[in-house]
Amino acid sequence: MNNEVKRALEVLRKLIKAYPDAPKSYLEFKNPFEMAIATILSARSTDAGVNKVTPELFSKYPTPKKLAEADINEVAIIIRPTGAYNRKAEYITKTARMILEDFGGEVPKTIDELVTFPGVSRKTANVVTQVVYDVAEGIVMDTHIMRVSLKLGFTKHEKNPEKTEKDLMLLLPKNKWISYGRFIGTHGRRTCKSRKPMCSICAVNNLCPSSEFKN
């Protein structure tokens, strides 16, 4: 095991200890169908924003069949606060139909299948497979995870999620991929913030080459 792998594992160990309450997802959901739809809505929107509209959406359309048969304009009105609502309404109603027609009413468990849905990227598919099925085919990439990984020196790719993910997959053992996304993401939200990183209270400041404060 080389020094960089050891550092990455030590960072992860410390963050797991620092954030025992880190959620598996900041999106609220009750089943795989709700998670798949919520992740599509989360594109260019905050998780908090999505969580504000999904209770009404899933109350009115609780199953793939109900959503597939929904009036797309009514769906668009409900999800309007998430942005790009006309496009997203089209995406989620079509996804619901595909779940019914192509996958027997069940949300698929692989990235290759999930990315066939409109509006589902590799990042979105990773979220669904990991959060819902506890299966890791990759590492979730969002702005927090990409930013913190760059600061920690685990990647040099600032704006390329595919290359960042590849770097991290090569660095970390597969059984750490889910934990990495969960705890690095939480660290980015709570401490290593984009505008003002809180280096003085950071649990891994002694392991971070970008830190302004070393314990």
Give the residue numbers annotated as catalytic, written as ranges.
Answer: 123, 142
How many CB atoms are closer than 10 A to CB 89? 24
- The C-alpha R_g of the chain, in whole angstroms, comes to 18
211 with 205: CB under 8 angstroms?
yes
- 10 Å CB burial of residue 39 (0-12, 13-18, 19+) is buried
Alpha-helical (H) ranges within 42-160 are 47-60, 64-68, 72-79, 85-103, 111-114, 122-133, 143-151
List Cα–Cα distances, 123 to 40, 112, 137, 166, in angstroms: 10, 12, 11, 13
Q: d(Cα 118, Cα 123) in Å, to the nearest integer?
A: 13
151 with 131: CB under 8 angstroms?
no
Total H helices, total E strands in the chain:
11, 0
